[in-house]
A and B are shown apart, each in its own frame.
Chain A
Amino acid sequence: MRFAMAIDLDRCIGCRTCAVICKDFNAQPQGIWWNRVFTSGTPEYDVAVKVDDQLRMEFVPISCQHCTNAPCQTVCPTQATYTDPDTGTVLVDYDRCIGCRMCASACPYGVRQFNWGAPAKMAGLGGTELEYGYPEPYHDGEHLVYAPHRPEGVMEKCTFCAQYTSQGKEPVCCRSCPGNARIFGDMDDPSSPIRAYLKDKEPFFLGEEYHTEPNIYYLAAHKVTQVNQVPASADGKEA
């Protein structure tokens, strides 16, 4: 099997539901986002960007690309980062991670998220700690690849929701996308939904120049016709 995900940017509305449910289900501490949705060309949300004289708001969800040729794995001195041979999923063993952050430097996608010290606890009702997310640790064989309470100083990132995919469920971002823009499946299986979805389409990969061979397939969004731009400094009308 080779797990993969297609992200159809023509269906993405930039709502960030994928990012939020990912954070919630995977108990990501403050500041940690395995899955983020950027607007190309700006660090802000809800901002248009001039592209070739047209305004655009191109949403780009980015999480671990689960590269077949993963630079993060190559540089890891402890083999904490490894590829699950059964699925091709790139995982991090929290027990082995020493927090050296080599992987973060090596990753061209900036998706690795580091716990500086002990993860922040979230305040709950009446001074309690708020618990959220999948409540038990998950081991892939010997490897601890998910823990609701993160060990101190470990690197973390998208696991394709290993604790769910191992049970025949889709990663939560794919299950929850209100636009059905994220399609998960097994590229080795011709009957898999992702194969059907990608059929006759022309996916592209992020950072193809890095030769990382990602397993996240992006489909491009259509262009928007904009015939009546407000010319710069030519608009003197009152609202």
Chain B
Amino acid sequence: MREMTRRDFVAASAGATCAIGAALALDASIGSAEAEALTGSAPFDEKWIRTTCSPNCTGACGMMAYAKDGRVHMIRQAADYPYEHYNPRGCLKGLSINTMLSGPDRLTVPLIKDEDGKQVETDWDTALDTAANRLKEIMDEYGPESIGVIYQVQGTGHIQKGALVRIANTFGWSVIGGYELNGDLPMFWPETFGCQSEELESYCWEDSKLTLIFGSNIMVTRMPDAHFLTYSQENGGRVIYFDPNYSASAERADEWVRIAPDSDGAFALGMAKTIIDEGLFDEHFMRTYTDSPLLINTQTGKRILADEVVGVQAVADIPDYRSSFVAISQTSGAPVATTPLELPDNDYALTGTYEIALTDGSTVEAKPAFQLLAEQLEQYSPDAVADICNVDADTIRRIARDAAQTKPMHIIFGGGTQQWYHGDLKGRACALVACLTGNVGQLGGGISTYVGQYKTRFNTASWMAPEGSIKNSCPFHYWVNGPTPLMKAKYPKDGFKAIVVGWGNPLEQHNVANWLREHVDSGDIELFCLDFQQTLTATAATVTFPCASWYEKTELTTTPLHPYVQLQQRIVDPPGQAREEIWIFTELANRIDPSKETLWPRFAPEDSEKRADEVLALLLEKGGPTIDHLTPEELRHGPGKLAHANPGEKRIPFWEQINERIPFPTVSRPNPLDATSKFVRSGRIEFYRDEDIFLELGEQLPCYKPPFEDTEYKDDPDARVLYPLGYTTRNSAFRVHATYVNNPFMLELQDNTPKVWLNPETAAERGLKTGDWVEVYNSRGMVEGQLIEDPGVYPTQCIFDQGWWSAYDNKTSYNSLIWPWINPTNEVYYIASVWSPNMAWNETACNVRLSNGGAPQIVRDTGKSILDGPIPQGSGIEYAKGAES
């Protein structure tokens, strides 16, 4: 039994009005599976049951729901995490999804398009056969890889969402990595550490003494975790927040640094320069764990291999994906081979210039990577970067010293900083600071990114990769841009013909949303959709399957933010004809190809729970050492904790590398370690990259490159003048992407109105003022909104809260302005969601003007009851039926 918490306030002070208090005060601590009666005084038959709220966010929050008459009436946080500070976990959105589960936008009947292309209701057999026949035709004509699959993100559901991955792998459809599609893939991770990413789970934040946050609005986008920063402050730690715009996270920080947009990398390089110049860096860390001592041929820019050097022999028996490089032993002064198989203490030189005799008879000049880094940093003195960052040099020096001398120091590298064309360069610069200060591998230290619930935390192949799997994948970037010269992904020979999308809304949420809409309207691309809400995508699909929400099925979830494995559980039945996805995909697979029944044993829809249970047991049993100690029974009761290698309660990223001297990288599931190890061939953290394109672009070392020069301005030189503002589509407190937009409580909190934020000066320059209905536009598209003057917005920025369905915004789309630029360094390798072109949402220039039209009816009706005229799309606002206005 858990100790009494303050939530049980009356138990400790039983008084006059709480005669039954003592018996009921265990509220929060009752085992979650033992369903709890609502109250003692109101003897309801129905029960509170635990599930996990897991839309496409990183929360994975344990919830308890109370159902009556087959409908969820109330939701509260389960607050049953063994680590008390994780309680209560859950935000305003998930706690009010009951308004949507049985709301007017709920999908309850399968839909198909009739001969006129009009969507009509149908029965399951017709829907499934229609989808199966059409998909089969497309596969036969264009190949299975012409069908793209969007399965949202794996961590949010391994069984039901996993079934979509399984069917994709069964037939060889092209999985579109959601991680890169959403701009969540921090490319500096594979470029520097060789892995998809690593991060501190949020309960480690309270162990940090200094937290530097670059462009991550934690207080809004990581609500259930945000308090760990507060606890860090209450423990004597400090938080410094870097962002061009003021935000809730700036408000909660100890210091806000108003950095110029996209200049975080320059700031970090200025810090690195200071830390090195003032001798504050951790030399042992750099020498032992990074590529700092490896010799670079200064003529070619390439790393020198041990086998190329006279008198040096490469370390023996190394796998293909490893290389033995060369460093200078300070003891002997001679070049020696470095081992990629372990990370031993060593006496390698970090600085100097050396003449190296090669086996081809030549002698070349070589310098350790650290020497080149130091030389590179000459151009990034605090005084030099002050102008780029619009921050005075003394501040940069002060924060650099602070970061070097305060331990543990943790850098949170946010989506706001990452999702630029040169986001990887900024990440490499910030990673450099984390390494120079020796914080990587320490509890409460290092660098983390928290964009997306991407992380695969156990082995999932037993379910997602069936026997005979055909694994295809191709980023959405190439759908739009077409194949590129450096592309490593597999592009379908006839292009893409269809999208099978689960739990996603690409017609609203993809970049160039209008491009996709046009291709769907013209019939170039067909949609097959699974959802539980009537999104634009659901209403445009050839076939739409109504599926179960996370209160209506069994599903297995994990997140990078906490160590708990949790279940979604069936609290109520799916409404109407809505069904679990596992049944839908089983039927679809069998109807496409009856010979697949061995992989997809059929079952009746009412046995979906039983089938999900079997898959759950399989996933746990075959999931490997992080999860195989957990049982379905345990998880039915509440959260189970993933296992980790280091001693102590909290997992420490790279602990094995730093303490057991196991080479980098860590594994990026579901890929085997061998597949990603080539990203860091030295087995070390690599700040120097010598692939040709990095050399060609001058990006072999972390550097600063300004925004828009390689994208918008290169594409259209006039954009510099026409679109002088940077366009940021930030995440809102009231939505998870486009989910919850039709939650009536969320709408009310926002006056039902999409808004555009500008600095008052920027607005004045355009003759605009608060309340004006404006257009944000560029050459590609336009979105409307009501203007808000906000002195917290940087003068060259325009902000729109992403996620608004276009039905609420005169059919305009905020994503219509955004182009999927492809950075060629992201094409050096291709492994879906690990090394791939990544979406740079913020690399978008725009301008703002007064709208010729005006606020849509839906906005003008704000605060009034809507009695007449159904709003066909996004009708959540229509909840005031029957009111007297």
CB-CB under 8 A from B44, the residues of chain A are: 135-136
- Chain A residue at smallest Cβ distance from B389: A228
B382 at the interface (CB under 8 A from A): no
CB within 8 Å of B: which A137-184 residues: 163-170, 172, 174-180, 183-184
In the complex, are the beta carbons of B390 and A175 less than 8 A apart? no
B750–A118 touching, CB < 8 Å = no
Interface-side segment among B75-83, B130-138, B428-436: B75-83
Cβ-defined partner of B790 (8 Å) among A29, A47, A120, A176? A47
Contact B250 A118 (CB under 8 A): no
Return chain B residues, CB-CB under 8 Å to A233: 761
**A121-B881, A239-B725 are contacts. A176–B88 as well, Cβ < 8 Å?**
yes
B689 within 8 A of A: no
Given A24-B95, A124-B104, A192-B13, A237-B256 contact (CB < 8 Å): no
Which of A29, A135, A192, A225 is in CB contact (< 8 Å) with B255?
A: A225
Give the distance in Å from the alpha carbon of A174 to the alpha carbon of B42 in the complex.
22
Contact of A1 among B15, B20, B108, B708 (CB under 8 A): B15
Q: Are A175 and B16 in contact (CB under 8 A)?
A: no
Closest to B102 in A: A125
Residue of B27, B576, B726, B748 touching A169 (CB-CB under 8 A):
B27
Contacting B at CB under 8 A, from A101-149, are 116-126, 128-136
| Contact between B247 and A20, CB atoms less than 8 A apart | no
Q: Hey, what's the 0/1 contact readout for A6-20 against B, CB within 8 Å counting as 1?
A: 000011011111011
CA A29 to CA B247, docked complex, whole Å: 30
In whole Å, how far is A193's beta carbon from the nearest beta carbon of chain B?
Answer: 4
Docked complex Cα distance between A53 and B786 (Å): 26
The range of chain A's interface size is 35 or more
Q: DSSP class of A's interface residues: helix, strand, loop or mixed?
A: loop
Contact B13 A191 (CB under 8 A): yes
Q: Cβ of A123: which chain B residues have Cβ within 8 Å of it?
A: 103-104, 875, 878-881
Chain B 3-40 interface 0/1 with A at a Cβ cutoff of 8 Å (1 = within): 00011111111111110111011011000000000011
Beyond A14-B219, A135-B68, A232-B761, whether A239 also contacts B707 by CB under 8 A is yes
Interface members, chain A 67-87 (any B CB < 8 Å): 84, 86-87
Contacts of A121 in B (CB 8 A): 879-883
Contact status A175-B79, CB under 8 Å: yes
* Interchain CA distance A121-B788 in the complex, whole Å: 31
Looking across the interface, which residue of chain A has its beta carbon closest to that of B725?
Answer: A239
Q: How far is the CB of A113 from chain B (nearest CB, A)?
A: 13
A228 adjacent to B733 (CB under 8 Å): no
Q: Is B188 an interface residue (CB 8 A)?
A: no
Q: Kindly identify which residue among A15, A45, A128, A230 contacts B223, using a CB–CB cutoff of 8 Å.
A: A15
- Give the distance to chain A from B427, nearest Cβ to Cβ, in Å: 20
Determine if B89 is an interface residue (Cβ-Cβ < 8 Å).
yes
Q: Which residues of B contact A126 (CB under 8 A)?
A: 108, 576
Q: Select which of B74, B98, B106, B790 is within 8 A of A134 by beta carbon.
A: B74
Q: Indicate whether B884 reaches chain A with its CB closer than 8 angstroms.
A: yes
Measured between beta carbons, the chain A residues less than 8 angstroms from B18 are 165-168
Contact with A44, one of B75, B261, B788 (Cβ below 8 angstroms) = B788
Per-position 1/0 for B233-255, Cβ under 8 A of A: 10000000000001110111111
Quick one: which of B7, B20, B40 contacts A170, CB cutoff 8 A? Answer: B7
Residues on B with C-beta less than 8 A from A201 are: none
How far is it, in angstroms, between the C-alpha of A148 and the C-alpha of B27 when the chains are bound?
22
**B818-844 CB contacts (< 8 Å) to partner A:** none
CB distance from B780 to the nearest CB of A (A): 17
Known: A86-B17, A168-B25, A180-B227. A16 touches B749 (CB 8 A): yes
A95 interfacial contact with B, CB 8 Å: no
Hey, which chain B residues are within 8 Å of A31, CB to CB? Answer: 748, 863
Known: A122-B99, A193-B6. A30 touches B883 (CB 8 A): yes
Q: How far is the CA of A46 from the CA of B89 in the complex (A)?
A: 22
Q: Mark A175-208, 1 if CB is under 8 A from B, else 0.
A: 1111110011110010111100000000000000
Q: Which of A57, A121, A221 is most buried by chain B, counting CB atoms within 10 A of its CB?
A: A57
B258 within 8 A of partner (CB): yes
Q: Are A175 and B88 in contact (CB under 8 A)?
A: yes
Cβ contact within 8 Å between B250 and A57: yes
Q: Check A136/B790 contact, CB under 8 A, given A21-B92, A168-B10.
A: no
Q: Restricting to B665-714, which residues have a CB under 8 Å from any CB of A? A: 707-708
**CB-based contact B258/A21 at 8 Å:** no
CA distance A232 to B795 in the complex (A): 9
In the complex where A20-B96, A47-B792 touch, is A239 in contact with B74 (Cβ < 8 A)?
no
Is A230 a contact partner of B27 (Cβ separation < 8 A)?
no
B302 / chain A contacts, CB cutoff of 8 Å: none
The chain B residue sitting closest to A117, CB to CB, is B884
B9 touches A48 (CB 8 A): no
Tell me whether A17 and B247 are in contact in the complex, defined as CB-CB below 8 angstroms, given that A125-B106, A178-B223, A179-B227 are known contacts: no
A130 near B76 with CB under 8 A, answer no
Given A45-B750, A178-B226, does the pair A116, B254 have CB atoms closer than 8 Å? no
Given A48-B246, A86-B17, A133-B74; A13-B223 close (CB under 8 Å): yes
Q: Which residues of B contact A135 (CB under 8 A)?
A: 44, 68, 73
| B733 A15 Cβ-Cβ under 8 A | yes
The answer to whether B88 touches A177 (Cβ under 8 A) is yes
Query: Is the CB–CB distance between B96 and A10 below 8 Å?
Result: no
Residue of B nearest to A58 (CB): B251
* Interface membership of B270, Cβ < 8 A: no
Nearest-neighbor residue (CB-CB) of B744 within chain A = A122
Say if the beta carbon of B859 comes within 8 Å of chain A.
no
Using known A-B contacts A167-B39, A227-B255, A228-B390, determine if residue A45 contacts B733 with beta carbons closer than 8 Å: yes
Report the bound CA distance from A130 to B262 in whole Å.
46
- Chain B residues near A87: list those with CB within 8 A: 15, 17
A86-B17, A131-B71 known; A125-B103 Cβ under 8 A? yes
Inter-chain CA distance A120–B724, complex, in Å, is: 45
Distance in Å: Cβ of B632 to nearest Cβ of chain A: 29
B808 within 8 A of A: no
From B9, B40, B103, B251, A186 is in contact (CB under 8 Å) with B9
Q: Please, which residues of chain A bring their CB within 8 A of the CB of B73?
A: 131-133, 135
Shortest beta-carbon distance from B383 to chain A in Å: 15
Contact between chains at B878 and A20 (CB < 8 Å) = no
In the assembled complex, how far is the CB of residue A195 from the closest CB belonging to chain B, in whole angstroms? 10
Q: Mark out the residues of chain B between 91 and 132 whose CB falls within 8 Å of any chain A CB in the assembled complex.
A: 91-92, 95-96, 98-99, 102-104, 106, 108
Per the bound structure, the CA–CA distance linking A172 and B28 in Å amounts to 12
Taking a contact as CB atoms under 8 Å apart, the answer to whether B25 and A178 are in contact is no
B476 at the interface (CB under 8 A from A): no
* B768-780 near A? 1/0 per residue, CB < 8 Å: 0000000000000
Give the residues from 200 to 226 in chain A that come closer than 8 angstroms, CB to CB, to chain B.
221-222, 224-226
Chain B nearest Cβ from A88, distance in angstroms? 11
A-B CB contact pairs (8 Å), 20 listed = A24-B95, A46-B247, A47-B790, A48-B792, A50-B791, A55-B246, A55-B791, A121-B879, A129-B882, A132-B74, A136-B44, A169-B10, A175-B77, A175-B88, A176-B95, A186-B13, A189-B15, A192-B13, A224-B256, A235-B795
5 closest Cβ contacts across the A-B interface?
A48-B792, A168-B21, A120-B883, A239-B726, A193-B6
Given contact pairs A11-B227, A44-B755, a sample of 15 additional A-B residue pairs in the complex whose CB atoms are under 8 Å apart: A24-B75, A44-B788, A55-B246, A59-B248, A123-B879, A123-B881, A128-B102, A168-B24, A170-B9, A175-B79, A180-B88, A185-B9, A192-B13, A235-B390, A238-B720
List residues of chain A with CB under 8 Å of any chain B CB.
1, 10-11, 13-17, 19-21, 23-25, 29-31, 33, 44-50, 55-59, 84, 86-87, 116-126, 128-136, 163-170, 172, 174-180, 183-186, 189, 191-194, 221-222, 224-230, 232-233, 235, 237-239
Q: B residues near A, CB below 8 A?
A: 6-18, 20-22, 24-25, 27-28, 39-42, 44, 68-69, 71, 73-77, 79, 88-92, 95-96, 98-99, 102-104, 106, 108, 219-220, 223-224, 226-227, 230, 233, 246-248, 250-258, 260-262, 390-392, 395, 575-576, 707-708, 720, 724-726, 732-733, 744-746, 748-750, 755, 757, 761, 788, 790-797, 801, 845, 863, 865, 875, 878-884
